[in-house]
């Protein structure tokens, strides 16, 4: 581990230093709910840090690949840890590898306000999905620190472990660890090289048997807010830089194996075939039609492997994945029933066998009025007309909804592109999003009777 590697599980020291040249507020000097002074974040520093982090794990195609528990993710966390310290935070990692920067409050024992996102990526992803939320939260805290402002409640900035699920085929490992919903058997899930989550954790210096230590006690978290790129086109269409998220669609990920009969491409008449790929193709069109019949349902086959794989061999087996989402769980369940019935029909007609296994099944989650209200006020204070919209993409916040009120702030994505090297948001839009986050954090961290 480099010298910058955060200490493990050290309790934060209370730091009442109120350095910084701007408005000084002595500890306890600010009444609760005091409006934030007219503070501006350092947009140049934010942008430079986004560029710096975007160089870690960057490939020849310009895409970023930082999978969980890899040297690239480690390097990204160490880089962010140094920025957290610069921002006046104490830094630690919890038992599942979440990187946590803590900015002490005037009431250290009060329930904490969490802000964060992730620094792991999809293969060949963009530089904003995740890092904007982590670096943005560090920038917001650093702005408070440099202004000598200390909220009533502690604020913790988190870079969650493995949000994307790109390595082990199920995601949000860190946020589920923090929420206490991760299970020990899930740590036996294996990556394409057969390495389990537990083995990868051990190699990263963590003890998988201690994963439960990451869980936060009920009542210990006041609220969670995440800044994230929209990854869609709604804000661009509305001509607005920032949006208030109303809810997060729930992803159901299935692994599907279709077993047919391999055969000679030349010698096997069409009527005698049990072609696994033809069955997969027919089923995928049924899935597409079922999703298209609903306003918010989306369905994607993102991975497909066939065997034996010869030009002149009828595919005997196909393995594929399905990502099925909706903001309404009942609708998602209905679509799931329809596509399972279609699989049964196709299996009978073609003499093949479908097997389906859950990879992850996450319910859709509404955002909490407490956090949405703070975000609305913050956007208005910044003079922004922030549209309200659901998130089709999944986010760590959905794992925390059972622990505390959650909310999200969206920043406009150029042409809605994400999970690709071309993912882009302008510096101005990123600054607008972090300004809203700063005000939201200040409001949440000065709320509530247990902090008085
Ligand atoms: O898959 C998602 O929605 C997110 O990018 N992890
Ligand atoms: Mn993300
Ligand atoms: Mn993503």
Residue 259 CB burial class (10 angstroms; 0-12, 13-18, ≥19): middle
For 411, the 3-state DSSP assignment is strand
CA dist 300 → 64, 232, 337, 417 (Å) = 22, 16, 16, 16
At residue 196, the pLDDT reads 98
pLDDT class for 21, splitting at 50, 70, 90? very low
Distance CA 103, CA 85 (A): 10
For the segment 124-134, the average pLDDT, to the nearest whole number, is 98
For 183-217, the pLDDT digits (tens) are 999 999 999 999 999 999 999 999 999 999 999 99
β-sheet bridge partners, residue 251: 325
Specify the higher pLDDT residue, 251 or 33: 251
Least confident of 13-22, 136-145, 261-270, 372-381: 13-22
How far apart (Å, rounded) are the C-alpha atoms in residues 112 and 15? 15
Q: What pLDDT, on the 0 to 100 scale, is given for residue 169?
A: 85
Cα–Cα distance for residue pair 289/312, rounded to 1 Å: 31
- Cβ 230 under 6 angstroms from ligand 1: no
> Residues 10-15: contacts with CB within 8 Å, 24+ apart?
10/90, 10/92, 12/90, 12/92, 12/102, 12/104, 12/108, 12/154, 13/90, 14/104, 14/108, 15/88, 15/90, 15/104
Q: What angle do CA 303, 306, 307 make, to 5 degrees?
A: 150
| CB-ligand 1 contact for 97 (6 Å cutoff) | no
Give the mean model confidence (pLDDT) for residues 145-157: 97
Residue-level pLDDT at 34: 64
Minimal CA–CA distance to 244: which of 364, 340, 377, 401? 377
Is residue 443 within 8 Å of 391, Cβ to Cβ? no
* DSSP 8-state symbol, 84: H
Best residue for ligand 1 mutational test, from 66, 67, 165, 166 (most atoms within 8 Å of Cβ): 165
Residue 5 has pLDDT above 70, yes or no: no
Question: In whole angstroms, how far apart are CA 305 and each of 124, 260, 276?
Answer: 20, 14, 11
- pLDDT bin (cut points 50, 70, 90) of residue 27 is very low
Reply yes or no: is the peptide bond before residue 258 cis, omega within 30 of 0: no
Structure confidence by residue, pLDDT tens digits, 59-104? 999 999 999 999 999 999 999 999 999 999 999 999 999 999 999 9
pLDDT at 38 over 50: yes
Q: Give the confidence band of 289 by pLDDT, cuts at 50, 70, 90.
A: very high
- According to DSSP, the β-strands at 112-118 and 263-264 are unpaired
Work out the number of other CB atoms within 10 angstroms of the CB of residue 452: 9
Collapsing DSSP to helix, strand or coil, 362 comes out as: coil
Angle of helix 131-146 relative to helix 427-444, nearest 10 degrees, comes to 60
Query: Which carries the bigger pLDDT value, residue 24 or residue 284?
Result: 284
Ligand 1 in reach of 429 Cβ (< 6 A)? no
Q: Mean pLDDT in the chain? A: 92
Q: CB atoms < 10 A from the CB of 47, how many?
A: 17
Confidence at 37, pLDDT banded by 50, 70, 90: confident
Task: Give SS3 for 130.
Answer: coil
Predicted confidence at residue 448, as pLDDT, reads 78
Helix intervals (H) in 186-228: 197-203
pLDDT value at residue 451? 56
Which ligand has its closest atom nearest to the C-alpha of 229?
A: 2
Angle at which helix 43-53 crosses helix 427-444, to 10 degrees, equals 110
Which residue from 131, 164, 167 has its CB within 8 A of the most atoms of ligand 1, so it is best to mutate? Answer: 164
- Mean predicted confidence (pLDDT) in 262-286: 98
Q: Compute the distance between CA of residue 25 and CA of residue 147 in angstroms, rounded to an integer.
A: 8
Residue that is written with structure tokens 């490992």 in the block: 173
| Residue 443 near residue 105, CB atoms below 8 Å | no
Ligand 1 and 250: CB distance under 6 A: no
Q: What pLDDT shows up at residue 216?
A: 98
Q: Output the pLDDT for position 17.
A: 34
Torsion (CA) 14, 16, 19, 22 in degrees, nearest 10: 120
CA atoms within 13 A on the CB side of 240: 20
For residues 210 and 12, what is the distance between their CA atoms, to the nearest angstrom?
A: 20
**Cβ of residue 323 lying under 6 Å from some atom of ligand 1:** no
The whole-number average pLDDT for the span 49-60 is 98
pLDDT tens, position by position, 290-321: 999 999 999 999 999 999 999 999 999 999 99
pLDDT for the residue numbered 84: 98
Centre of ligand 3 from the C-alpha of residue 132, in Å: 12
**Residue 29 pLDDT > 60:** no
Q: What is the model's pLDDT at position 36?
A: 83
Q: Which residue ranges form the domains of the chain, and what is each CATH number?
A: 8-249+364-451 (3.40.630.10), 250-361 (3.30.70.360)
pLDDT of residue 71: 96
* Residues near ligand 2 ion, CB 5 Å cutoff: 129-130
Confidence band (pLDDT; 50, 70, 90) for 449? low
């Amino acid at each position: 581990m480099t010298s910058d590697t955060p200490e493990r599980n050290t309790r934060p020291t209370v730091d009442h230093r109120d350095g910084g040249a701007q408005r000084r507020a002595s500890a306890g000097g600010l009444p609760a709910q005091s409006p934030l002074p007219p503070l501006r974040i350092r947009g140049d520093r934010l942008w430079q840090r986004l560029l710096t982090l975007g160089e870690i794990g960057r490939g020849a195609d310009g895409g970023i690949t930082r999978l969980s528990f890899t040297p690239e993710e480690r390097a990204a966390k160490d880089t962010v840890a140094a920025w957290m310290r610069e921002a006046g935070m104490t830094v630690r990692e919890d038992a599942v590898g979440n990187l946590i920067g803590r900015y002490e409050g005037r009431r250290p024992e009060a329930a904490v306000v969490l802000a964060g996102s992730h620094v792991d990526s999809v293969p060949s992803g963009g530089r904003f999905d995740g890092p904007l939320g982590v670096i943005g939260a560090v920038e917001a805290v650093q702005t408070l620190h440099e202004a000598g402002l200390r909220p009533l409640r502690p604020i913790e900035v988190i870079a969650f472990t493995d949000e994307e699920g790109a390595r082990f085929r199920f995601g949000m490992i860190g946020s589920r660890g923090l929420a206490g919903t991760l299970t020990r058997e899930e740590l036996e899930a294996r990556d394409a090289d057969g390495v389990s989550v537990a083995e990868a954790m051990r190699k990263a210096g963590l003890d998988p048997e201690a994963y439960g230590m990451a869980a936060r006690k009920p009542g210990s978290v006041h609220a969670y807010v995440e800044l994230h790129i929209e990854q869609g086109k709604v804000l661009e269409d509305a001509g607005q830089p920032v949006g208030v998220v109303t809810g997060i669609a729930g992803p159901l990920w299935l692994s599907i194996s279709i077993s047919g009969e391999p055969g000679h491409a030349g010698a096997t008449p069409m009527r005698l075939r049990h072609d696994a790929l033809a069955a997969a193709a027919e089923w995928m069109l049924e899935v597409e039609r079922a999703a298209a019949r609903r306003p918010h349902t989306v369905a994607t086959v993102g991975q497909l492997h066939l065997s034996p794989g010869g030009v002149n061999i009828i595919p005997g087996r196909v393995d594929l994945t399905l990502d099925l989402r909706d903001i309404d769980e009942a609708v998602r369940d209905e679509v799931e029933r329809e596509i399972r019935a279609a699989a049964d029909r196709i299996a009978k007609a073609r003499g093949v066998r479908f097997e389906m296994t859950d990879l992850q099944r996450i319910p859709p989650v509404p955002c909490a009025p407490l956090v949405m209200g703070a975000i609305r006020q913050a956007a208005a204070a910044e003079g922004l007309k922030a549209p309200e919209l659901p998130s089709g993409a999944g986010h760590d916040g959905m794992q925390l909804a059972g622990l505390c009120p959650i909310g999200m702030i969206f920043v406009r994505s150029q042409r809605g592109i994400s999970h690709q090297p071309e993912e882009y948001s302008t510096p101005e839009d990123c600054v607008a999003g972090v300004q809203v986050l700063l005000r939201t954090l200040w409001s949440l961290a000065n709320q509530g009777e247990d902090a008085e």
